[in-house]
Amino acid sequence: MTEVSALADVGPQPRQRLLALLAQMTLEEKLAQIVGFWEKDDGDAVAPLQGDFGEPPTLDSFARHGLGHLTRAYGTKPVDADERARWLWEFQRGLVANTRLGIPAIVHEECLTGLSVWKAATFPTPLAWGAAFNPGLVQEMAASIGESMRALGVHQGLAPVLDVIRDPRWGRVDECIAEDPYLVGTIGTSYVQGLQAQGVHATLKHFVGYSNSRAGRNFAPVHAGPREVADVLLPPFEMAVLDGNARSVMHSYAEIDGVPVAADPTLLTGTLRDQWGFEGTVVADYYGVAFLHLLHHIASDLGDAAVQALTAGLDVELPTGDAYAAPLAEAVRSGKVDEAYVDRAVLRVLAEKLELGLLDAKFSDEPPTGVDLDSPRHRALARELAEQSVVLLHNDGTLPLPAGRRIAVLGPNADRMGALFGCYSFVNHVLPQHPGTDPGVVAPTVLEALREEFGDVAYAAACAVDDDDRSGFADAVAAATEADVAVLVMGDHAGLFGRGTVGEGCDRDDLELPGVQRELVEAVLATGTPTVLVLITGRPYAVDWAMQRCAAVVQAFFPGEEGAGAVAGVLSGRINPSGRLPVSVPRSAGAQPYSYLHVALGEGDEVTSLSSTPAAPFGFGLSYTTFAYADLTAPEQVPTDGYLPVVVRVANTGPIAGNDVVQLYARDLTGSVTRPVAQLLGYQRVRLAAGESATVRFMVPTTRLAFSDRSYRRVVEPGAVDLWVGTSSDRHVQVRTELVGPVHPIGPESPRWTRAEVTA
């Protein structure tokens, strides 16, 4: 078991080296390699139920036999990078010199919206990546993040999040990319490739099902059938493993139909390793092993929890060794678990350390100094991604705002830097535990950016993000009354465990704007002044009322340190908006959970008095120019085991240059099981000058139309398929094709990506 399952992708000489190293190890030295250590102070609460665990031992005593992972050496508190690098190099030298085997630790950090450390660049949140529909740009961003991590001696990043959005009430939506698994998979895989190109291992989160929780609640049970898991929730992970060669996977906190993923060998070993051939390490989400005992109650104690997780295929306990240290040692010695399972996990960790160069690292060089964590290159990428991610939801012609207009800028997110950042940014994730600390990053607010764009503007905050204080309404109404246009900057504050309106542990039971924000909009609308609503959020809110009554509605999903300039540029027309919705805008919370991937019965118009039709569909977004599609062609027939070539002509029919996102959708008209009414097959961002046109050629593997049949085999079935270019619900041009031939089973070797080519 040990060699085959743990070292299948390691050559003969490295295999012998690792096996020889394992043979030298005592049980304590083995267990040291499959746990992390987290050095933190009281009050550094950035993980769930963190306070429920006892005082950990000191780092020196804990690591006397070695150490697998060092948890968030830079990212737990605001520390000077130079000083912390000196400490880290000294600590790693200590492991080399003072432990019997001399093996350094893997250092991991959060890196979802940039390296989550003090003074590092903060990029747009993943929802904004999805809105940009630009995998190449996300790959560049991830490479820049990985470069910073590698420079500081960080080896593994806990990103990307590949959970498919199923319910916008869930607080962690801002960490997710989209409600479409293919968009999640392509964007997420590109992130993996960018990060790992810099020698930093990516960690896929959260495998699997976490976002499908009941009622959109964090840590709530998941009741998803095996078909939904296979066809919707697993594909992004499959793509990132098989196409991105992701080197680590983090389990989900979820329990699916009563079985916690952390103790599910069917997923952690059967799917991940036996089916996909994954050879990296599976790491625990923080305290996830202990939660088998404390929250799921399927383990009688921490030792039992360790045995269940280890045998299921979970290799490394993070953030520290609550279960895999002393409790697992006792379980091995008492015969409750075969030590071969420990060996399997240890070999996987050693193989990762070999790949990272840690088995030969001595840290005899000098630690880095003066690493620029927010370089001009970082900021340029942050700006480009922010600009491409802003979505124009509605416009009656008021935007772009001409020069010389009297503008009143109102609302709780207008002059608040933290409004630009997601939950896993350092500013919102860690700094609230350290009040008074300088944010360490320069990020103009929307108000500052608008003043830069337009000159002097009036301003009133009017209210907070999430309280019932209306005392500032009068000032806002007065400012709006005197203005030619009112710009209301509303939305979320990202935080943790109830400290925000969105973020981990910050779920909602409705999808109205938090606090009294809607009342503020209503009060400003009552003045008769044309009103532009700017939403800076980590989830979509039910704002169909605003799309009907405001002059314009602009959606920015936590756009990062350069995001305010992107918003201001869209309002002025300096930037032609090109973002497209990665998640549907709901009409109400009562229609949730909702996905554009619903089957025909999911529309409900004929059989219920409640429609689930969204206010704006997946893929929607306006521009200051117009685009037209023509000459959509596809073969009349395509074999079930082949490729589907689709060609369409796109033209900029408006007055100015702009970027379009050409989206190709399909509907499988008849299947052995019910099929969604729309499914994204491919997409391509295209920039066109006014009057210019281009041809986009998609080469779609028929496996993009695969699904789990009645026996749960993933297959491509013959039959008619509608194809169209537009959004998920709007068919601008369409054509029909037919898949012919036998039912075609697919597997890990099957192609997963649609290729696209743009020609003049």
Sketch the domain layout of the chain as residue ranges.
2-40+57-360, 390-602, 627-759
Please enumerate in sequence order all residues whose Cβ is within 8 A of that of 663, keeping only pairs 6 or more positions apart, or say none: 133, 580, 619, 680, 682, 683, 725, 726, 727, 728
CA 639: distance to chain centroid? 35
- The three-state secondary structure class of 683 is strand
The confidence band for 124, taking pLDDT boundaries of 50, 70 and 90, is very high
Whether pLDDT at 720 is above 70: yes
Lowest mean pLDDT among 11-15, 284-288, 427-431, 751-755: 11-15
- How does pLDDT run across 645-700, given as a tens digit for each residue? 999 999 999 999 999 999 999 999 999 999 999 999 999 999 999 999 999 999 99
The mean pLDDT value for 581-591 works out to 92
Rounded Cα distance, 212 and 255, in Å: 10
Q: Give, as one character, the DSSP assignment of residue 440.
A: -
* Whole-angstrom distance, CA of residue 56 vs CA of residue 67: 15
Instruction: Name the band, by pLDDT with cuts 50, 70 and 90, for residue 185.
Output: very high
Q: What distance in Å separates the CA atoms of residue 254 and residue 718, rounded to the nearest whole number? A: 36
- Quick one: average pLDDT of 362-367? 96
Average pLDDT in the chain: 95
Q: How much is the pLDDT for 2? A: 43
Please tell me the predicted confidence (pLDDT) of residue 611: 79
Closest CA to 122 of 143, 145, 146: 145
Decide: 550 and 517 in contact? Cβ < 8 Å: no
- Phi, psi of 97, deg, nearest 5: -85, -30
pTM, full prediction:
0.97
Per the DSSP assignment, residues forming a β-bridge with 667 are 722
| Token pair in block for residue 537 | 């959020």
pLDDT exceeds cutoff 60 at 5: no
Q: Determine the average pLDDT of the residues in 494-512.
A: 95
In order, the DSSP letters of 695-753 are EEEEEEEGGGG-EE-TTS-EEE--EEEEEEEESSS-EEEEEEEEEESS-EE--TTS---
What is the structure's pLDDT at 152?
98
Is 113 in contact with 104 (CB distance < 8 Å)?
no
Encode 191-227: b = buried (16+ Cβ within 10 Å), e = exposed: bbbbbbebebbbbbbbbbbbbbbeebbbbbbbebeeb
Dig out the tokens for 41 from the structure.
């102070």
Place of tokens 């960790």: 349
DSSP 414: T
pLDDT digits 0-9 by tens, 319-334? 999 999 999 999 999 9
CATH superfamily of the 627-759 domain:
Immunoglobulins (2.60.40.10)
Q: Given a cut of 60, is residue 4 above it in pLDDT?
A: no
Which two tokens mark 131? 């809105």
Interatomic CA distance for residues 462 and 441, integer angstroms: 26
Q: What is the arrangement of strands in the sheet containing 458-460, beginning at the earlier edge strand?
A: 391-395, 552-557, 531-537, 485-491, 407-410, 458-460
Homologous superfamily of the 390-602 domain (CATH):
Glycoside hydrolase family 3 C-terminal domain (3.40.50.1700)
Give the residue among 530, 618, 612, 627 at the shortest CA–CA distance from 576.
Answer: 627
2-40+57-360: which CATH number, 3.20.20.300, 3.30.70.20, 3.40.50.10070, 2.60.40.10? 3.20.20.300
pLDDT at 51 over 70: no
730-743 tens-digit pLDDT: 999 999 999 999 99
64-to-36, 85, 328, 362, 491 alpha-carbon distances in Å: 13, 21, 17, 17, 49
Cβ atoms of 665 and 596 closer than 8 Å: no
